[in-house]
Structure 1
Amino acid sequence: MPRTKEQFEEMRNKTREKIQLAAMQIFVQKGYGSTNVQEIADLAGISIGLLYRHYKTKEELFNELVEYSINGIKGVSDLFKQDDSPKKLIMQFVDIVYKDMVDGDELTNLLILMTQSIFSGAINHVENEIKKQDAEMLNATLNLIKRGQEIGEFRSGNPYELAVFFYSTIQGLATMKVMLKDSFIMPSPSIIMAFLLKEGE
């Protein structure tokens, strides 16, 4: 029986997902410049021809991964701008980060990939967009922390410094996970949140 249009679309999406996951892994291990598309195809378990049917160039593939990361940053900014308990919102985000890092490598690889894309200058035209979204996310976070301090949910301290420390911790955990591999143990959400909560909470 011939496949339906929906079945073809599902197969196409699954293939793209395999390519993206393989690309993230190799880009993180070898860097953008040292990665070739044959390695990505091999890890994804597909032919080089099939990879090229989905992505014309390595740059196009890398660009899509970075765009996906940028959308993730926008999502965090939007979450932190919600009119809800600051403690609840930030704990919700920490729980997502914890689960993603325990369950797989996608978030870890995306965080490393974002850093690489800025340091390597591999794709210059996305660098400004990444920096812009990072600044917006940091601003949304420090405003959330400030609001949490005003209503007594968070400890006192410079909101900007606390926000920078928060993201440095998450980025550092991603780096440690890549370095330590199977021996890495993800700290619990309560440990990640400890710097922000008042003593005894």
Structure 2
Amino acid sequence: MARSEEQFKKIRDQRYEEISNAALKIFARKGFAGTKISDITSSINLSHGLLYHYFKSKEEIYVALITNVLELFSQAVEEAESNNGTPYGKLRWLTELTFKGDFDVALDRHMLLMEAMQADFLSQDTKEQIIDQYTTALKGIGRIIAEGQQTGLFRDGDEMELAAYYISLSQGITLWNAKGLYPIRVSADMVLDPLMKRG
């Protein structure tokens, strides 16, 4: 029996996801320069030819992954902003979402973004798009913090600077837990504590 258009799309989407997941892990561990197309294809038993049906080049895979990571981040921040409730509740929701998934995947995404922001092999235009999209999400967190400052909940200070502290702490915990030395159970309240106004 012939496959339907819908079945072909499902298979194609699954294969795209499989390639993306494998590439994320390999790029995060080897970096762009150290990664070969054969590293990706051999990890999922895929021919070079078939991979090129989905992506034209190694750089295209890399940029698609970064775009996806930034879209997920932006969507999460937008959803947090649009949630009903207090600014604390919004950031608590975002923090719980951040630490809900697999730590290895979170670490891979973080490593990929850190390399991309400094990458010489990406065009200036692509790097600027990455930084702009990241900054847009950071501004969303800043707006939530500013809202909390207006109600006397969060400490005084530049909201973008406080947003950077918040993101840095979240990323630092991800990196710490990835080491496996003394993994901590993440508490959203502990992550948000440095933002709280004292007295």
1: distance between equivalents of 2:44 and 2:177? 22
SS of the residue aligned with 1:32? helix
What is the 5 A alignment of 1:14-53?
Answer: 14-53=14-53
Q: Percent identity?
A: 26
Tell me the amino acid that sits aligned with residue 21 of structure 2: L
What is the 5 A alignment of 1:60-79?
Answer: 60-79=60-79
Per-residue CA shift, 1:15-46, capped at 9, x if unaligned?
Answer: 11111011011101010011001101112232
Q: State the match for 2:192 in structure 1.
A: 193
Report if the CA contact (8 A) 1:141-1:163 is conserved. Answer: yes
Gaps of 5+ in 2: none
Q: TM-score, normalised by structure 1?
A: 0.85
Classify 1:157/1:10 alpha carbon distance in 2 versus 1 (closer, same or farther; 3 Å). Answer: same
Tell me the amino acid that sits aligned with residue 165 of structure 1: Y
The structure 1 segments of at least 4 consecutive aligned residues displaced by more than 6 Å after TM superposition are: none
SS of the residue aligned with 2:52? helix
1: distance between equivalents of 2:175 and 2:83? 32
Displacement of 1:184 in angstroms is 4.0
Gaps of 5+ in 1: none
Displacement of 1:51 in angstroms is 1.4
Q: State the match for 1:97 in structure 2.
A: 98
Per-residue CA shift, 1:82-107, capped at 9, x if unaligned?
Answer: 3742112111111110102xx35333
Displacement of 1:137 in angstroms is 2.2
1: distance between equivalents of 2:87 and 2:156? 14
Per-residue CA shift, 1:59-83, capped at 9, x if unaligned?
Answer: 1111111111232243244235437
Classify 1:182/1:53 alpha carbon distance in 2 versus 1 (closer, same or farther; 3 Å). Answer: farther
Displacement of 1:177 in angstroms is 4.3
Report if the CA contact (8 A) 1:112-1:174 is conserved. Answer: no
1: distance between equivalents of 2:18 and 2:180? 21
2: distance between equivalents of 1:47 and 1:191? 47
SS of the residue aligned with 2:34? coil
Displacement of 1:157 in angstroms is 4.1
Tell me the amino acid that sits aligned with residue 197 of structure 1: M
2: distance between equivalents of 1:190 and 1:147? 18
Report if the CA contact (8 A) 2:29-2:108 is conserved. Answer: no
Tell me the amino acid that sits aligned with residue 109 of structure 2: L
Kindly report the root-mean-square deviation, in angstroms, between the aligned alpha carbons of the 2 structures: 2.4
Q: TM-score, normalised by structure 2?
A: 0.86
1: distance between equivalents of 2:148 and 2:132? 24
Report if the CA contact (8 A) 2:80-2:93 is conserved. Answer: no
Q: How many residue pairs get matched?
A: 197
Tell me the amino acid that sits aligned with residue 67 of structure 1: T
SS of the residue aligned with 2:121? coil
2: distance between equivalents of 1:40 and 1:186? 32
